[in-house]
Amino acid sequence: MAVLKASGLGKVFPGVVALDGVDLELRGGYVHALIGANGAGKSTLIKILTGYYPSYEGRIELNGQLISIHKPSDAFRYGIEVVHQEVDTTLIPYLSIAENLLIEKLATPAEGFFVRKRELHRQARQILQTLQLDMDVDQPVADLSLPQKQLLVIARAISRNASFLILDEPTASLGVSDVERLFTMIRKLKQRGVSFLYVSHRLTEIQEIADDITILRGGKKVAYFNRETFEMSKAIEAMLGAQPGKLFPTRMPITERELVLEVRNLGWGKRLKNISFQAFRGEVLGITGLTGAGKTELLNILAGCEKADHGDIILDGKVVHFRQPKDAIRHGIFLIPEDRRHRGLWIEHSIRTNVTLPFIRDFSYLSFVLSFKEISHVLQIINRLKLVPPNPEMTVKNLSGGNQQKVVIGKWLLQKGRVVLFDEATQGIDIGAKQEVYVLARELAHTSAVIFSSSDVDEVLGLADHVLVMRDGQIVGEFDTQPIDRQQVMELATGAVRTTTAYTTAQEE
């Protein structure tokens, strides 16, 4: 089995040591997890291994022989491939699965002028069969779901004889069942001797899939575990560099709650059916379910981005109708959307212009924007959110994911909303930033009704006072009393009664 051994890897940028003397060993047939907060050096390490940098410190050995990786083609030659979080960037949407799988072949002049479709399909089918993937090779990639695309990219890497596969946050946007499918695939490939470097923020997954665990902090390797020695609390401690405080803030007594929002019989095509619930000021209402269960659709309707076919939204006792988000905002319903980069931020703009835009009128006199007013407010927000760096003029593009998310939340802190909606607010941010988002949600619950929607069941259970479980556009479960049975929530969310989790299955193998 192939062994890739990197020792003393380091990379210095002007003024910043991004990676500092890191050792890492990838053994064939094993999954090596790499974890760390944002900015810990994970992506620098990946970039070194995939030949992104022409120069760096340290040595890399393959099966005991020194190899040099200084350009992407080097990495490719030694069988190192990376599957990025955004798989779309490596696939061509209007070509078929077969064409995407064998794109290298199509690009070589030896193939001749005409595409031999039958031969192409035969080869593609063969590749998919060996991995036991059931896909129609003639289907355009554009029609595939995200998890399918991910499996396809992995299949393509394997078909090119990649023996070291780097998965960069592969589960960031996957639902529970897709994660399990991915893990099944990983286990299958492990048996064939493929080695994985698995980069993720999700510790529960790592516990389930990883054989070795390396933790980076500040560019250095701060801890190493194997399957036996791994402990969640120790891992968190190593990532944060300090004793972790409580991940979730304490709940408030529910005596002070006040009914703010009521939803009755909301329906939207096939996506939402018969949704009814109440949200109170003074509590966090959690909504969980798999991706695609209708959570985002529901929140979008509440925020005025979409229009429901029927049903009522009742805010403070009055039925309200929203034509566009503007109307919802006027009523005090603020949305922190899923996919912050595309829906929540102006990445080329500064923190200041991002934060002040929704209420820009409040910072203007006779329509002139008063920057001194803006800056004093933005500095307050920066202070409250512990944004780093504390510079209002910093371009959002250069902030870490966690800090970007804080900017999105910061937009809505000028006015007290009646309802604040969080949609997958902790996706792709490190555990320290997550903790801060939870605290913020809890703080906001003092003045507004907070609805916190996430496909991460554990965070919803840990944070919320009241939990709704959604599946296929319907509310299938409601939990009021603490503690809530995680198992029961999962069963409702997946719609199947399961007695064993994927983890126990793995142990039995």
Residues that bind other proteins (CB under 8 A): 8, 10, 12-18, 20-21, 38-39, 57, 218-220, 303, 305, 324-326, 329-330, 335, 337, 342-349, 353, 356-358, 360-361, 363-364, 367-369, 388-389, 397-400, 402-403, 411
Spatial separation of the C-alpha atoms in residues 26 and 33, rounded to whole Å: 10
Residue number, 194 or 303, with CB nearest to other proteins? 303
Q: Which two tokens stand for residue 20?
A: 């500092």
Q: Of 194 and 433, which has the nearer Cβ to other proteins?
A: 433
Which residue, 259 or 360, has its beta carbon nearer to other proteins? 360
Query: Phi and psi of 326, rounded to 5°?
Result: -50, -45
Q: How far is the CB of 65 from other proteins (least distance, A)?
A: 24
End-to-end CA distance of the chain: 21
What is the Cα–Cα distance from 416 to 497, expressed in whole angstroms?
42
CB atoms within 10 A of CB 307: 12
Of 165 and 425, which has the nearer Cβ to other proteins? 425
Q: Which is nearer to other proteins, 270 or 342 (CB)?
A: 342
Q: Are 266 and 242 in contact (CB under 8 A)?
A: no
The Cβ of residue 342 has, within 10 Å, a number of other Cβ atoms equal to: 9
Cα separation, 376 vs 166, in Å, equals 44
Shortest Cβ distance from residue 387 to other proteins (Å)? Answer: 9
Nearer to other proteins, 162 or 336 (CB): 336
Q: Which residues pair with 469 in a beta bridge?
A: 288, 477
CB of 354 to other proteins, least distance (A): 9
The strand ranges marked E within 418-492 are 419-423, 449-454, 466-471, 474-479
Tell me how far, at minimum, the Cβ of 220 lies from other proteins, in Å: 7
Q: How far is the CB of 347 from other proteins (least distance, A)?
A: 8
Pick between residue 262 and residue 306 the one whose CB is nearest to other proteins. Answer: 306
Phi (first) and psi of residue 468, to 5 degrees: -105, 140
Tokens representing 486? 């995680």
Which sign, positive or negative, has the C-alpha torsion 140, 146, 149, 151?
negative
Closer CB to other proteins, 280 or 334, in the complex = 334
The CA dihedral of 265, 268, 271, 276, to the nearest 10 degrees, is -20
Shortest Cβ 474–other proteins spacing (Å): 26
* Minimal distance, residue 127 CB to other proteins, in Å: 35
The nearest distance, CB 287 to other proteins, in angstroms, is: 19
